[in-house]
Structure 1
Amino acid sequence: MFLLSLVIFIALLAVVFYYQVPLLISSVVLVAGSFALTFVSAWMWLVLLPTLALAVFLNVPALRRPVLIKPVYKLLQKAMPPMSVTEREAMEAGTTWWEKDLFSGKPDWKKFVDIELPQLSEKEQSFLDNEVNELCTRIDEWQIFEDQDLSPEAWDYLKKQGFFGLIIPEEFGGRDFSPYAQSRIMSKIASRSVTAAVTAMVPNSLGPGELLMKYGTDEQKQRWLPGLADGTEIPCFGLTGPEAGSDAGSIPDIGVVCKGEFEGQEVIGLRLNFSKRWITLAPIATVVGLAFKLKDPEHLLGDASKSDYGITCALLPADHPGIEIGQRHNPGSPFMNGPIKGEDVFIPVDWIIGGPAQAGKGWRMLIECLGAGRGVSLPALSTASGEMSYLTVGAYARIRRQFNMEVGKFEGVQEATAEVAANGYILEAMRQLVTRGLDSGAPSVMTAMAKYHATELMRTSVNHAMDVVSGRAIQLGPRNFTAFAYRALPVAITVEGANILTRSLMIFGQGAMRCHPYLFDEVQTLQADDEDAALEVFDELFMKHIGHVLSNVTRLKLFSFTGSRFSPTPVNADDFSRRWYQHINHMSAAFAVAADVALGVLGGDLKRRELLSARLGDVHSQLFIACSILKFHGAHPRTEDEDVHATFALEQTLYKAQEALLAFYRNFPLRPAAWACLAASFPFGRKYKAPSDDAVRRLGGLIMENSTVRQQLAGYVYVSDDPTDSVGRVETTYHMLLALGDSWHNFSRAQAKGELTGDTLEARLHDAVARGVINESDVTPLMEYDARRYDCLLTDNFDKL
C-alpha cells in the first residue's frame, strides 16, 4: 500500500507542477494529500513530515530569504557581468509577440487561434496591381546592370508614385501602408529587379522617415516628411563605418555641443566629425540621417551632471557645409551605395531627431526602427528570390532534358528542387506571420529570426537554382533569370546585422532576456542600488522562476513519454495539423528547459558561448517557422499539393530544431545536466526524422507541375508573359509544354527508343503520326514548342566585352 500511496503522491506532485499552481495553494494540496494518504499507509508519514517542513520553509519569507534567496542573489550578482548602456537599451527596445510563448515552453494556442494573417486593404491591393505592376514593366535588370543605375524614367516613376513614402502617414502625403503591404510590394519589385527593390526599400526601412515619425518634433515632421513622401527628398542613413558595424557602441564619430554661427546668429549646436561607409542611397541623397556619439563638455544642454550622452541621431541636408558625399561603392548589385564624410560640420542642436530632449537616445531609436529592415525589407527580397527560384527552376527542370529524360526527374536534382519547393513555401508562410507580428509592435527577436532565416533560405534556394540550371545560370546576359539573385546574396546576408552576428548573438541573446518570463526582471534587481528592496522583488521572481522550471520539466517528461499525444492544441486544429502542434508542444518544453539550464549553469558566460547560444536560437527560430507553416496552411482551402509541401517543410523544420538541441546537449560543459536534459527530452532516441527519399521524390516531381502551390506563389511575384524576357521566356515555354499534354512526352520517348525515322524533326513527327504515337493535330504545336524549347536553353553571346 505504501508503494501505491507514493505513486499517488508523485502523481499529485506532477499535477501541481504541470499546472504551475501558486506556491501556497500547492503546499496546502500536497500537505493535505500526503496527510490523507497516511490513512492508507502509515509509512506516508515519512513523506508528510518532510513535505510539511519544506512547505513551511518555502511559504515563510522570514525563513526563506536569509537561507535560500539571499545566497542565490549574492551568487548571481557575482556571476552576472554588468550590463552596458547599449546592451540595456537593446534589451529594453522593441516588443515581444508569439515568439515569447514558444520560449515559455507553454504555447498559448488560444492566443494563436486569434492571430489572423494580414490582408491587403483596397488601396494596398490597387497599388500592387497598378503602380507596382507598371513599375515592373518599366525596369529591366540587365539594362540596369549595364547602366549601373536605374533608368531616369524608373527613378521618376518611383518618386512620383510614392514608392519612397509607403510608411509615411497620409497627412504628410505618404501611403501609410501596413508592414504586409510593404513586404508584398518589395517582393514584387524584387522579383523583377533586386536593384530597384533595394532602392525602394531603404527609404521605407531604417532611415529618417521612420525615425521622424516615431521620435521627430512636429517642426521636423513638417519640414521633412512631405518631401520624403513625394520623392523630392532622397534619404540615407549613416550608421556603419570602417570600425563600427554591428557594434554600434564603438562608433568613432563624434558630435560636440558648442556655440557656433548658423544663418548669421550664434546658436547652441553640434560640431560633427564623421566618416561613414556602405551607406545605401548616399551618392544621390538629399537628406542624411546620422548616428554619432554626443559629448557636452560645457554642459550647454543644461545637465551639469552629464557630459557624455552617448549615441545620438540627427538629420542634415546633404548639401550642408562640410559634408562630403557623392562617390559610390560597388556592392555587386548596382544600387546606389557610398561613403559619407564630414569635417567640422556645425549644425543647430534642434537638428537632433526629436530635438535636444532626445540627445543620447539614438541607440534605442535605431534598435526599435531596425524591425522594418529585418522584418520587412530583407525577408521580402528573400521571399521573392525563393518564389522565383521555385517557379523558374521547376519550369526549367521540366523543359530541360538530359539522357532522354527531364532533368527534374533525376533523384540528385530532386534532392535540390524539393528543398527549393519547401523553401519557397516556408518563406511565404514566414513572411505572413512576421508581418502580422509587426502590426502589433516591433518584436526585435522575431525580426532577427526573420532576417537570418529568410536570407539563409534564400541562399540555399538560389545556390540550388544555380546548380540545377548549371551553365545556363552563369552566363550573364538578358536571358539569364538566375544570376542577379545570386549576385544579390551577399547583400542580403551581410546588411542589417550580418548573419553570423544575428544568429550567434541576437536571436537567443535578446530572446533570453526579452522572451523569458522572469529573467530580465531578475537581472534588473541584481543591478539595483537598494539591495533590500531589490531582494524582496527578487524573492518573488525567483520563486515563480523555480515554479516555471518545474512545470516545464514535468511537461517535458510527460510529452516525451506519451509522444505529447494528450497535449493541448488549437481548437481549430484539423487532422493534418493536430499532431504537428503537439510536436511543437514537446520541442517548446524541451527548449525552455534547455534554456533555463544553460542560463542557470553558465549565467553571464553564456553570451560568450556563441556556439551554444546560436543552437538554442536555432531551436527557437525553427519552432516559430513551424508555427508560421501551420498558420499559413490553415488560412486557405486545403489541397493535396499543399499538404505535400507543408509536410515536407514541417518535417525539415522540426528535424533541424531537434538536431540543434542535440548538438547543444553534446557540447554543454556540465555533462550530468546535459545527460539529464537529453534523457528528459528524447528518452527513446531521436524523435523527428528528416524528409524521406520518397518525400524528396514526390516534392521534387511536384515542383515541375502546375500545382495549386505554384499558382499561389506565382501570385506574389511579377511573372512576365513576354517570350523575350528572361523569366517570361522560361515561363511561356513551360506553359506551352503543359498545353501539349502527353504528346511531347510520348514523342520524345519514342524518339529516344529509336522507333522513329527521319532526318528532320518534322519528318520524325510525321512518322510518329503514322505509328500512332501522336495525332496529326499535334505536329504544328510540337514543332513550335521545340523551337521555343531550344531558344529557352540558349545563353547570350556578345561581339565584345
Structure 2
Amino acid sequence: MSLKRTLFEPEHELFRESVRAFVAKEVLPRREQHRADRLIDRETWKKAGELGFLGLGVPAQYGGSDIDDFRFNAVLNEELSRIGVAYGSSFGIQVDIIAPYLLRLTTEEQKERWLPGFCSGDIVTAIGMTEPEAGSDLGALKTTAVRNGDGWIVNGSKTFITNGGNADLIVTAARTGGGPKGRGITLFGIEAGMEGFSRGRVLEKVGQHEADTAELFFEDVHVPDELVIGELDGGFKHMMEHLAQERMGSAITNVAHARAALDITLQYAKDRMAFRRPIGSFQHNRFLLADLVTRLDVTQAYVDQCTLAHSKGELSPVDAAKAKWWSSDVQGQVVDACVSCTAATATWRSTRSRTRGWTRG
C-alpha cells in the first residue's frame, strides 16, 4: 500500500481515466505489432491527436487543448510508460520536448505551418541532436549548416533518434558558426521529403522495441531561412532553456516504469508457489519487496514535488537533473531486484526438482 499522492486534482484524475481508456482500446491491442514493426503506427498517433493528448499546452487556435499545466503531461507520461517505456518516450518527445520549441521559438507562420498537424497526429516530430561521435555533447557537434543564398546547406548525421524512422519534422541542431565550445549552433526545422534528407536503419535495441529509433543523414539539404527555429547561433541556449522539462519527463517515466515492474512482481509473489507457500511469504522476499516499495514511494514523493514546482515555473535545471538521476538509479534498483526475485523462484524449483531426482536415484 503506497502513500496517497497529493500532486493531482480531480480534473487530472478524470484525464487519467481518458488516457487509460485510450491505452486499453487503442494501444494495448496493437502493442505486439508495434514491437514487431519497431514503430508506433500512424493510426495510434492520430487517435491520440483526436483525443487532445498531443496538443497539451498548445493554444486552441492551432488545434491544441489549451491546457498549460504540466501535471496533465505527467499523467499522460505515467499511463503510457506503465505499458512500455517506449510509449512514454515516443509521445514524450512530441508533447514534452518538441512542443515548447514550437510554441516559444517559432514565428507565426511556422506555428500555422506545423502546430495543427502536430496536434492532430498528422505531423510526428523528433529532435536531431545526438550524433555518432559526439553523443549528446553539443560542444562536439559536427553537423554543419552553411549559408547559401536565401537559406542553408545542411550536412551531417544523427543517431539514436527517437521517432526518427517515422518523423515528419525534425528539430535539428547544426553548427552555423565558430567561437567557444557550445556556441554557433542553430536549430532548423527539417521536413521529411526534403532533397538530401534520408533515414538509415531503425536500430535494434535491448528494450523499447515499440520506438522507431533511427539514424538520420543530411547530404546538402537546402533549408530555407523561414525554417530556422529561434535565434541564429542561439541553439545551445535554447536547448539549455528547455532541459528542465525534458529531464522531468524522464524522471516521470522512470518512476512509472519501475512502479509497473514492482506491481507485476508483487502480484507474482502472491500467486507463485514454492515449497507449498507463496514466494512472497519467505522472509527474504518480504524484506526485499518492502525495501523496494519504500524506495519507490520516497522517489515518487520527490518527483511529484519537482513536477509541481515545474508546473509553477519554479524548477531549476539542476533540480530537474537531480530528479532524473535519482529516479533513474532507483528504477534500475527496482527492476533488477524484481528480475532477481522472479528468477530466484525458478532456481529454487529447479534445484528442488534435481535434488529429489538425485534422492530417488
TM-score past 0.5 threshold: yes
State the match for 1:154 in structure 2: 44
1:361 aligns with 2:234: yes
State the match for 1:416 in structure 2: 288
Shift in CA distance, 362/417, structure 1 to aligned 2, threshold 3 Å:
same
CA distance in 1, matches of 2:238, 2:10: 29
State the match for 2:262 in structure 1: 390
Report deviation, 1:412.
2.2
CA distance in 1, matches of 2:169, 2:40: 20
Shift in CA distance, 147/279, structure 1 to aligned 2, threshold 3 Å:
closer
Shift in CA distance, 353/151, structure 1 to aligned 2, threshold 3 Å:
closer
Gaps of at least 5 residues in structure 2 are 348-361
State the match for 1:278 in structure 2: 160
Aligned residue for 2:201, secondary structure, equals: coil
1:39-80 residue CA offsets vs partner (Å, 9 max, x unmatched): xxxxxxxxxxxxxxxxxxxxxxxxxxxxxxxxxxxxxxxxxx
Which structure carries more strand by proportion? Answer: 2
* 1:222 counterpart letter in structure 2: E
State the match for 2:91 in structure 1: 200
Q: Choose from 274, 279, 282 the match for 1:407.
A: 279
CA distance in 2, matches of 1:167, 1:242: 33
State the match for 1:711 in structure 2: none
* 1:126 counterpart letter in structure 2: L
Report deviation, 1:136.
2.8
Shift in CA distance, 269/150, structure 1 to aligned 2, threshold 3 Å:
closer
CA distance in 2, matches of 1:473, 1:294: 57
Task: Decide whether the 8 Å contact of 2:156 with 2:219 is kept in 1.
Answer: yes
1:293 aligns with 2:175: yes
CA distance in 1, matches of 2:26, 2:54: 17
State the match for 1:316 in structure 2: 190
Task: Decide whether the 8 Å contact of 1:135 with 1:154 is kept in 2.
Answer: no
Aligned residue for 1:319, secondary structure, equals: coil
* 2:94 counterpart letter in structure 1: P
Shift in CA distance, 210/473, structure 1 to aligned 2, threshold 3 Å:
farther
CA distance in 1, matches of 2:7, 2:243: 21
State the match for 1:521 in structure 2: none
CA distance in 2, matches of 1:291, 1:321: 18
CA distance in 1, matches of 2:346, 2:241: 39
State the match for 2:302 in structure 1: 430
5 Å matches for 1:415-564?
415-441=287-313, 442-470=315-343
Aligned residue for 1:282, secondary structure, equals: coil
Aligned residue for 1:327, secondary structure, equals: strand
CA distance in 1, matches of 2:41, 2:174: 34
CA distance in 1, matches of 2:212, 2:42: 14
CA distance in 1, matches of 2:201, 2:274: 48
5 Å matches for 1:131-210?
131-140=19-28, 141-150=31-40, 153-175=43-65, 176-207=67-98, 209-210=99-100
5 Å matches for 1:555-704?
none
Q: Choose from 213, 222, 225 the match for 1:337.
A: 213
Task: Decide whether the 8 Å contact of 1:253 with 1:292 is kept in 2.
Answer: yes
Moved over 4 A (4+): 471-474
1:191-220 residue CA offsets vs partner (Å, 9 max, x unmatched): 12333222211102222x211212212222
Shift in CA distance, 414/154, structure 1 to aligned 2, threshold 3 Å:
same
1:320-370 residue CA offsets vs partner (Å, 9 max, x unmatched): 11111263112232211101111111222232113xxx1111111111112
Shift in CA distance, 330/359, structure 1 to aligned 2, threshold 3 Å:
same
Aligned residue for 2:319, secondary structure, equals: helix
1:638-674 residue CA offsets vs partner (Å, 9 max, x unmatched): xxxxxxxxxxxxxxxxxxxxxxxxxxxxxxxxxxxxx
1:393-434 residue CA offsets vs partner (Å, 9 max, x unmatched): 222222223233332232322342122211231232123101
Task: Decide whether the 8 Å contact of 1:149 with 1:336 is kept in 2.
Answer: yes
Which structure carries more helix by proportion? Answer: 1
Shift in CA distance, 446/169, structure 1 to aligned 2, threshold 3 Å:
farther
CA distance in 2, matches of 1:143, 1:309: 43
Task: Decide whether the 8 Å contact of 1:164 with 1:231 is kept in 2.
Answer: yes
Q: Choose from 338, 347, 350 the match for 2:223.
A: 347
1:137-166 residue CA offsets vs partner (Å, 9 max, x unmatched): 333344533443345643442233233322
Task: Decide whether the 8 Å contact of 2:47 with 2:121 is kept in 1.
Answer: no
CA distance in 2, matches of 1:343, 1:472: 54
Report deviation, 1:274.
1.6
State the match for 2:135 in structure 1: 245
Report deviation, 1:127.
3.0
CA distance in 2, matches of 1:196, 1:384: 12
* 1:349 counterpart letter in structure 2: D
Aligned residue for 2:87, secondary structure, equals: helix
CA distance in 1, matches of 2:57, 2:220: 33
* 1:352 counterpart letter in structure 2: V
Report deviation, 1:314.
1.2
Task: Decide whether the 8 Å contact of 1:139 with 1:192 is kept in 2.
Answer: no
Report deviation, 1:457.
0.8
CA distance in 1, matches of 2:272, 2:301: 30
State the match for 1:782 in structure 2: none
1:723-744 residue CA offsets vs partner (Å, 9 max, x unmatched): xxxxxxxxxxxxxxxxxxxxxx
Report deviation, 1:132.
3.6
Task: Decide whether the 8 Å contact of 2:177 with 2:184 is kept in 1.
Answer: yes
Aligned residue for 2:338, secondary structure, equals: helix
State the match for 2:352 in structure 1: none
Task: Decide whether the 8 Å contact of 2:200 with 2:217 is kept in 1.
Answer: no
Count of aligned pairs: 335
Q: Choose from 229, 234, 248 the match for 2:124.
A: 234
Task: Decide whether the 8 Å contact of 2:274 with 2:345 is kept in 1.
Answer: no
Task: Decide whether the 8 Å contact of 1:256 with 1:271 is kept in 2.
Answer: yes
State the match for 1:119 in structure 2: 8
Task: Decide whether the 8 Å contact of 1:282 with 1:326 is kept in 2.
Answer: no
CA distance in 2, matches of 1:132, 1:326: 34
- Structure label with greater radius of gyration: 1
Q: Choose from 148, 171, 186 the match for 1:258.
A: 148
CA distance in 2, matches of 1:292, 1:439: 30
State the match for 2:109 in structure 1: 219
Report deviation, 1:230.
1.1
CA distance in 1, matches of 2:346, 2:202: 28
* 1:202 counterpart letter in structure 2: I
Aligned residue for 1:165, secondary structure, equals: coil
* 1:371 counterpart letter in structure 2: A
Shift in CA distance, 240/150, structure 1 to aligned 2, threshold 3 Å:
closer
Gaps of at least 5 residues in structure 1 are 1-115, 260-267, 297-304, 475-801
1:325 aligns with 2:181: no
Task: Decide whether the 8 Å contact of 2:42 with 2:121 is kept in 1.
Answer: no
Report deviation, 1:450.
1.2
CA distance in 2, matches of 1:345, 1:414: 59
1:582-619 residue CA offsets vs partner (Å, 9 max, x unmatched): xxxxxxxxxxxxxxxxxxxxxxxxxxxxxxxxxxxxxx
Task: Decide whether the 8 Å contact of 1:180 with 1:432 is kept in 2.
Answer: no
Shift in CA distance, 131/415, structure 1 to aligned 2, threshold 3 Å:
closer
* 2:186 counterpart letter in structure 1: T
CA distance in 1, matches of 2:90, 2:96: 11
